[in-house]
Chains A and B, each alone.
Chain A
């Protein structure tokens, strides 16, 4: 069963880093999740100022806007897709992931099965 872990950053320092963990913590987690064979995919996202939104209107016109910018403190900072047997296993991985530490949080969404 695949789960998407959406990592939301809380408080960040001036370099955009989560203050509750170090880059080494992320490297350790990344290695663990890959060594355990549950890693499917995952990326860390560039800063939110680089975000662009696209909508296609009913008449086919493309509407491109800058942003969105952070309206709340919760900013999507990256994601992992992991393949584990059940929600408890996904929760365990999320708790080990530095993204859930400090003011950060991780939303877990099961990937739909068709």
Chain B
């Protein structure tokens, strides 16, 4: 039943966090409003404007709470006056819940928070997952995750990380952190073979896409995740063992997701120099378009990795590029590139590096 309110929870939380400038209070009254709905809606029926009902209920609960605790109210009032001085509140549509989730995305992925916590915070506050569920998603003990979330919330509150979306000028610098936070949820789901997590990351990216329709990297990220997720049924064998891309039954790839993903790749690549997610999504699309490994457009994939390498300068990208070169020019060419990369500290003890090397050596024979 809580899943029914997943959308509303994120919207309520964002709107209330902005209004009160306090995440704890916003979380508390959001939960209370949803609990109240779970009690009264089955009896009285769903109100004509459910979002507005939830918002009114949550605000009443907040006012009750502030009446009980005058000192807290006084502190919040000062914070709020200061926040309004910085940025006047957005006009609220009178009929239903405003969608202010964008600011919450940016708060969760704020550069002043630890990079490894941003995905967890996004999952907790925008995905509406409990701390236990978030801990399970990132494979850490409950207690560890609870501590990390508490510490992050304390920093948001004490250092006054604002509930505010960046201006157009700041957006190019801030957006990659938000995309990375969402993508980290997807990659956790991918590594753990958890479709639910991958789908939650996709749902969050869809929200971002609606909120930032002009940002091509958002389209690139969503496209990339859809194209990779399209292969979910084919990447695991009957006994749960991983099946490499080469050996996957491509008939089991999800054609509908591939179509949607490919459309987004086109959006991401059109209208200026592409960003890293656009390029990665284009690589994924070329794999998904090919009938098999032999007919895959390797020259094009190598060219895209060249672009990606120039954008990211990542040794992991260089490794993937070497594998693509091996597919285009033969294993010797790939091995020569791997030898050049072997001294990179980031690839030392990096499992996939040794796997790629072993695979190319096998192909030499």
Report A's interface with B, CB cutoff 8 A: 1, 84-89, 91, 108, 110, 112-113
Question: Which of B86, B160, B161 lies at the interface centre, i.e. has the most chain A CB atoms within 10 A of its CB?
Answer: B160
Q: B86 is contacted by which of A85, A108, A112 (Cβ under 8 Å)?
A: A85
Q: Are the CB atoms of B158 and A85 closer together than 8 Å?
A: no
Q: Which residue of A lies closest to B166 (CB)?
A: A88
Q: A86 is contacted by which of B75, B162, B166 (Cβ under 8 Å)?
A: B162
Q: For residue B161, which residues in chain A have a CB less than 8 angstroms away from its CB?
A: 86-88
Q: Are the CB atoms of B160 and A86 closer together than 8 Å?
A: yes
Q: Which residue of B lies closest to A92 (CB)?
A: B170
A-contacting residues, B85-112, CB 8 Å: 85-86, 110, 112
Q: Does B82 contact A (CB under 8 A)?
A: yes
CB distance from A84 to the nearest CB of B (A): 8
Q: Are the CB atoms of A89 and B86 closer together than 8 Å?
A: yes
Q: Are the CB atoms of A1 and B160 closer together than 8 Å?
A: yes
Q: A1 is contacted by which of B82, B110, B164, B166 (Cβ under 8 Å)?
A: B82
Q: Are the CB atoms of A87 and B112 closer together than 8 Å?
A: yes
Q: Are the CB atoms of B86 and A86 closer together than 8 Å?
A: yes
CB distance from B117 to the nearest CB of A (A): 16
Q: For residue B110, which residues in chain A have a CB less than 8 angstroms away from its CB?
A: 87
CB distance from B172 to the nearest CB of A (A): 15
A-contacting residues, B163-194, CB 8 Å: 164, 166
Q: For residue A87, which residues in chain B have a CB less than 8 angstroms away from its CB?
A: 110, 112, 159-162
**How many contacts between A and B, using CB within 8 angstroms?**
35
**15 A-B residue contacts at CB 8 Å?**
A1-B82, A85-B83, A85-B85, A85-B160, A85-B162, A86-B82, A86-B86, A86-B161, A86-B162, A87-B160, A88-B161, A88-B162, A88-B164, A108-B159, A113-B75
Question: Which of A1, A85, A108, A110 lies at the interface centre, i.e. has the most chain B CB atoms within 10 A of its CB?
Answer: A85
Additional A-B contact list (20), CB under 8 Å, known A86-B160, A86-B161, A87-B161: A1-B160, A85-B82, A85-B83, A85-B85, A85-B162, A86-B82, A86-B86, A86-B162, A86-B164, A87-B110, A87-B112, A87-B159, A87-B162, A88-B164, A88-B166, A110-B158, A110-B159, A110-B160, A112-B158, A113-B75
Chain B interface size range: 10 to 19
Report B's interface with A, CB cutoff 8 A: 75, 79, 82-83, 85-86, 110, 112, 158-162, 164, 166
Closest 5 CB pairs of A and B: A85-B86, A86-B162, A86-B160, A85-B82, A110-B159
CB distance from A105 to the nearest CB of B (A): 14
Q: Which residue of B lies closest to A110 (CB)?
A: B159
**How far is A32 from B114 in the complex, measured between Cα atoms in Å?**
31
Q: For residue A112, which residues in chain B have a CB less than 8 angstroms away from its CB?
A: 158
**How far is A111 from B335 in the complex, measured between Cα atoms in Å?**
56
Q: Which residue of A lies closest to B110 (CB)?
A: A87
Q: For residue B112, which residues in chain A have a CB less than 8 angstroms away from its CB?
A: 87, 91
CB distance from B90 to the nearest CB of A (A): 16
Q: For residue B85, which residues in chain A have a CB less than 8 angstroms away from its CB?
A: 85
**How far is A88 from B110 in the complex, measured between Cα atoms in Å?**
10
Q: For residue A113, which residues in chain B have a CB less than 8 angstroms away from its CB?
A: 75
CB distance from B86 to the nearest CB of A (A): 3
Q: For residue B86, which residues in chain A have a CB less than 8 angstroms away from its CB?
A: 84-86, 89
Q: Which residue of A lies closest to B156 (CB)?
A: A87
**How far is A108 from B79 in the complex, measured between Cα atoms in Å?**
19
**How far is A89 from B166 in the complex, measured between Cα atoms in Å?**
11
Q: Which residue of A lies closest to B86 (CB)?
A: A85
**How far is A113 from B74 in the complex, measured between Cα atoms in Å?**
13
CB distance from A60 to the nearest CB of B (A): 35
Q: Which residue of B lies closest to A91 (CB)?
A: B112
Q: For residue A91, which residues in chain B have a CB less than 8 angstroms away from its CB?
A: 112
CB distance from B113 to the nearest CB of A (A): 10
Q: Are the CB atoms of B158 and A86 closer together than 8 Å?
A: no
Q: Which residue of B lies closest to A109 (CB)?
A: B159
**How far is A113 from B82 in the complex, measured between Cα atoms in Å?**
14
Q: For residue B162, which residues in chain A have a CB less than 8 angstroms away from its CB?
A: 85-88
CB distance from A86 to the nearest CB of B (A): 4
**How far is A110 from B157 in the complex, measured between Cα atoms in Å?**
10
CB distance from A81 to the nearest CB of B (A): 15
CB distance from A53 to the nearest CB of B (A): 29
Question: Which of A1, A86, A113 lies at the interface centre, i.e. has the most chain B CB atoms within 10 A of its CB?
Answer: A86
